[in-house]
Amino acid sequence: MEPQEQAHGSDGDDCSVSGFDSAEKVIMKWDATASEEAREKMIFTDPQEVKLYLHAVDEIQRHVSSPGELESRASSAIQIAMARLEDEFRNILVSHSSPINSDSLMSSSSSSSHLEVDEDASNNNEEDDQEEETDLLKRTGSSSSSGSATVRLPTGRGSYSRSTSSIREIELIPIDAVVYLSWIARRMVSAGYLRECIQVYGSVRKSAVDSSFRRLGIEKLSIGDVQRLNWEALEQKIRRWIRAAKVCVRVVFASEKLLCEHVFESVGAVNIHEACFMETVKGPAIQLFNFAEAISISRRSPEKLFKILDLHDALIELLPDIESVFDLKSSDSIRVQAAEILSRLAEAARGILSEFENAVLREPSRVPVPGGTIHPLTRYVMNYISLISEYRPTLVDLIMSKPSRNATDTNAPEMDFSEVENKGPLALHLIWIILILQFNLEGKSKYYRDAALSHLFVMNNVHYIVQKIKGSTELKEMIGDLYLRKLTGKFRQAATYYQRAAWVKVLYCLRDEGLRTKGSFASGVSRSALRERFKSFNALFEEVHRVQSQWLVPDSQLREELKISILEKLSPAYRSFLGRFRSHIESGKHPENYIKITVEELETEVLDLFEGLTATQQHQRRRSE
C-alpha cells in the first residue's frame, strides 16, 4: 500500500517543525542540483528510500500553506521535490518502455495478461498497510500461472473489463513500476504539477508507441506522400497497414489506455487518465488513419478497387474496437475520422465501379486482334468481375442503386433488365458490364475485313465470357442461369454465322446445278463445267484452309466442336459429289488436275484449322506428314 502521511497529535508546533525539518533534509539529500550522489542514484530502486522520500514529500506538502518562514521553506522544498519526482517518473517510464514485439503480437492468442485492480478504501489499519506494502515493494512484476496478477491500487474503479473480445491488452510496464508511477503522479498533481506530469508521461509513452509503429512497418507518410507513391508500392503498404492497424488498435492503443487508467485513475484529478492517453496516442492514431484517408481520397482507377475494399473490410471490422478504445469524450475526433474514412472508402468503391463501366464501354482500341482470338479487354473485364464476385459480401452492402444509361448517349447499348428484375443492384451491375463488353466487342468485330473472322471473333469472346461465369460459383449465382443461357445462345449463333460466311461458297461448289447439259455428252453432264467446278472447289478450299489455319479458337473443346460441325456438313457433301462425278473426270485426260484431294485428306486438312499456324508452320506440317 502507498506510504501514508504520519499522524500528528497534540504535541504542538514543535513536533510539526521537527517533522518538517526531517522531511526537508530528506528532500535536500536527493536534490540533484546540489549533490553528485543524488545525480547518480535513483530513489525508486530502493523500496526503503521510496517510503522515506514519499513520507517527506507528504510532510512538506502539509506545510505549503503554513504562515511565515515555514511556508517559504516548504514552497522551495516542494519545487525541489517535484523536480526530483519528475526525473524519477521519467526514469521509471523510460527504463520500462520498449517497443512491442510485432511477431509475437501477430501470432499471440486473444488471451493476454492484464492488471486487475480493486480497492478497499476503508482499510486504514496501519499493520495491514505495512504488511501489504512490504509484499508489494518486493514484487518483480511476475504473474501467476493464470497469466494475470492482482494488486491493490488506490483507484476509484473495480476491475477492468474488455468491451470486445478481439481487444488484447498486454502488460506494458511491470506492476510494481505502475504502482510507483501512480504514487508519484498523485503527489505531482496534488502539488500543482499536473501539466508537467502529463507532458513527461505522454512524451515517453509516445516514443514507445512510435517504436512499436516502426516495428509494425508503419511509416510516417503524409497524405501527399501516399498519393505520390506508385500503385505497386502502395499495394504492398496497404497489405502491411491492414495487418498493422489491427495490432495498433487492439493491442498497442488498448494497452496504452489500460496503462493510463492504472497509473492515473487514483490520482484524483478529473479525466487525467484521458488526457494522458490522448497525449500518448493522438499523434500516432492520426498518423495511422491518415494512410487510409489518403487512399480513400486518391485518384480513382479500376486497379485500386480491390485494395480499397480490403481497406474498407479491415476498417469496418476494426470500427467496434476503435469505438471501444477511443470511447472518451476527448477522443471523439479519432472515432469521427475512422467513420469518415470508412464512408469515403465506400464512396470510392462505388465511384470506381461506375468509372470501370464507362472505361469498358469506351475502350478505344481499333486494331483487330490476330486470328480472331480473345481480346485482351475481354480477359481483363472477366477477370475483374470474377474478383468483384469474390467481394460480394462487401459490395452487396455498398452497391445500392441499379446501373443507369444516359438517355442522350447513343454509343451505349439499350438496357432491358425485365428478364433479371429479381436481381439485386450488384448483380445488375455485373450483367450491365457484360452487356457493354459485348457491345464494345461487336464494334471491334467490324474492324475485320473478313465477315467469317468477324463472327469467329464474337464467338471466341462470348464463349470466354460464358466459361468465366461458369468457373466462378459466386459469379454464376449472381448472373443467373437465364442470362447465362442467353449468352450461350449468343456464341452459338456467332458460330453458325461464321460457318455460313466461311463455307457457303465452298459448299456451293458441290451442288449439281449448272453441270447438266442436253448436248452430246451421254450422261447429260458437261465435262468442262464439271472440271471448272472441281477447280473452283479446290481453289476455295485451299484458300480457306490457308487462311483459317492461321485463325485461332483458343478453347480446345470449342475448337474441336467447331471442326466437327464443319466436317458434318462438308464431308458428306464432298463424298457425295465425288461419288456422283468422279467417273466423269477420271475417264478424261489428267484427272489429277481436278480431283486433288480425297475425303480423308479433306478431313485431315480441316483438323488443321484454328490452330494459329503461320504459312511456314503449315508447310512444315505438310512435309512432316
Query: Within a 13 Å sphere around the CA of 340, how many CA atoms are in the beta-carbon half?
Result: 11
User: Is 42 domain-assigned?
Assistant: yes
Mark whether 219 and 281 lie in a shared domain. Answer: yes
Q: Which helix (H) or strand (E) holds 150?
A: strand 149-152
> Which CA distances in Å does 538 have to 135, 294, 546?
108, 67, 12
Mark whether 249 and 209 lie in a shared domain. Answer: yes
Domain end point (choices 433, 467, 500): 500
Mark whether 447 and 591 lie in a shared domain. Answer: no
The SS3 assignment for 425 reads helix
> Which CA distances in Å does 358 have to 12, 73, 141, 385, 597?
91, 80, 63, 14, 52
* Per-residue confidence (pLDDT) for residue 201, from 0 to 100: 95
Mark whether 544 and 600 lie in a shared domain. Answer: yes
For position 574, which CATH number holds?
Answer: 1.20.1280
* Per-residue confidence (pLDDT) for residue 159, from 0 to 100: 31
> Which CA distances in Å does 359 have to 43, 302, 431, 540?
70, 9, 15, 41
User: Is 114 domain-assigned?
Assistant: no
Q: How many CB atoms lie within 10 A of CB 593?
A: 13
> 574: phi > 0 → left, psi -120 to 50 → alpha, else beta; which?
alpha
What domain range is 571 assigned to? 511-517+524-624
Whether residue 552 contacts residue 373, with contact meaning beta carbons closer than 8 Å, is answered with yes
What's the total number of domains in the chain?
A: 3
* Per-residue confidence (pLDDT) for residue 520, from 0 to 100: 45
Q: Which helix (H) or strand (E) holds 152?
A: strand 149-152
Contacts for 14 with CB less than 8 Å, ≥ 6 apart: none
41-69: b or e for each residue (b if 16 or more CB lie within 10 Å)?
A: ebbbeeeebbbbbbbbbbbbbbbbebeee
Bridge partners for 152 per DSSP: 118
The backbone torsions φ and ψ at residue 117, rounded to the nearest 5 degrees and listed phi first, read: -120, 145
Packing angle, helices 481-508 and 527-548, rounded to 10: 140
Mark whether 478 and 398 lie in a shared domain. Answer: yes
- What DSSP string describes 598-624? -HHHHHHHHTTTTB---HHHHHHHHHH
Whether residue 49 contacts residue 37, with contact meaning beta carbons closer than 8 Å, is answered with no
User: Is 138 domain-assigned?
Assistant: no
* Displacement of CA 418 from its chain's centroid (Å): 36
Report, in angstroms and rounded to the nearest whole number, the Rg of the chain calculated over CA atoms. 43
Mark whether 86 and 170 lie in a shared domain. Answer: yes
Kindly tell me the burial class for residue 396, based on how many C-beta atoms sit within 10 Å of its own C-beta (0-12, 13-18, 19 or more): middle
The backbone torsions φ and ψ at residue 397, rounded to the nearest 5 degrees and listed phi first, read: -80, -30
Mark whether 337 and 307 lie in a shared domain. Answer: yes
SS3 content of the chain, % helix, strand, coil (to 5): 70, 0, 30
User: Is 123 domain-assigned?
Assistant: no
For position 228, which CATH number holds?
Answer: 1.20.1280.170
Residue 112 is given by DSSP the state -
Mark whether 479 and 553 lie in a shared domain. Answer: no
* Per-residue confidence (pLDDT) for residue 120, from 0 to 100: 36
Whether residue 240 contacts residue 217, with contact meaning beta carbons closer than 8 Å, is answered with yes
User: Please, which contacts does 556-565 make with residues 24 or more away whose CB atoms are closer than 8 Å?
Assistant: 558/459, 558/460, 558/463, 559/610, 562/495, 562/498, 562/609, 562/610, 563/606, 563/607, 563/609, 563/610, 565/495, 565/499
Q: Compute, in degrees rounded to 10, the torsion defined by CA atoms 7, 11, 12, 15.
A: -70
379/74 Cα distance (integer angstroms): 83
Mark whether 303 and 446 lie in a shared domain. Answer: no
Mark whether 216 and 348 lie in a shared domain. Answer: yes
* Per-residue confidence (pLDDT) for residue 516, from 0 to 100: 75
User: Is 105 domain-assigned?
Assistant: no
Mark whether 310 and 267 lie in a shared domain. Answer: yes
Bridge partners for 151 per DSSP: 117
User: Is 122 domain-assigned?
Assistant: no
Mark whether 439 and 560 lie in a shared domain. Answer: no
Amino acid at 135: D
Local mean pLDDT, 10-residue blocks, the chain (625 residues): 54 63 90 82 92 93 78 89 94 87 49 34 38 34 32 30 66 93 94 93 95 91 89 93 94 94 81 90 94 93 94 95 92 94 96 94 91 96 95 94 74 77 90 95 95 97 98 94 94 97 94 73 75 94 94 96 96 94 86 90 93 68 57
The SS3 assignment for 116 reads strand
Domain end point (choices 325, 352, 379): 352
